[in-house]
Copies of this chain bind each other. A is one copy, B any other.
Amino acid sequence: MGATKTEHFTDKQNTIATLTKALGHPARIAIVEYLIKVDTCICGDIVNELPLAQPTVSQHLKELKNAGLIKGSIEGNSICYCIDEKIMEKLQKYFGNISTKLSNKKNTCC
């Protein structure tokens, strides 16, 4: 016990859960927002933007990368990180779809 029972859910459900889970930490939200703000891949200085130690930031970056939300490529001495637009679009569509369905809802209980 203790581990998530992913095998009982659909691939899509697991995919969305993986993405939202990866975003489920303020530091990782901050990283994503920073990458969007600078409007370019960023080589370095992500650590200086966050109130966390370097190994911690590195770990958060790794999780975002594992989930596919960011891409990183070695750029000489440092690493170049940037948002994967396709994945963000997937989330945007997912929540857009939910909102559409909810506004079409006929029933008005609660």
Residues of chain A having any CB pair with chain B under 8 Å: 4-6, 8-9, 13-14, 16-18, 20-30, 32-33, 36, 39-41, 50-52, 71, 73, 80, 82-83, 85, 88-89, 91-92, 94-96, 98-99, 101-103, 105-107, 109-110
> Does the CB pair B96–A109 fall under 8 Å?
no
**How far is B24's CA from A3's CA once the two chains are assembled, in angstroms?**
13
> Does the CB pair A98–B109 fall under 8 Å?
no
Instruction: Please give, as numbers and ranges, the residues of chain B lying within 8 Å of A21 by CB-CB distance.
Output: 20-21, 23-25
Instruction: Please give, as numbers and ranges, the residues of chain B lying within 8 Å of A109 by CB-CB distance.
Output: 40-41, 80, 82
**How far is B28's CA from A20's CA once the two chains are assembled, in angstroms?**
11
> Does the CB pair B30–A23 fall under 8 Å?
no
Given the interface pairs A29-B9, A40-B107, A107-B39, the reply to whether A92 lies near B96 with Cβ below 8 Å is yes
**Shortest Cβ gap from A96 to chain B (Å):** 6
> Does the CB pair A99–B105 fall under 8 Å?
no
Interchain residue pairs with CB less than 8 A apart (20): A5-B52, A9-B26, A9-B27, A13-B33, A17-B23, A17-B25, A20-B21, A21-B24, A22-B24, A36-B102, A39-B106, A40-B105, A40-B109, A73-B110, A80-B110, A88-B95, A92-B96, A92-B98, A94-B95, A95-B96
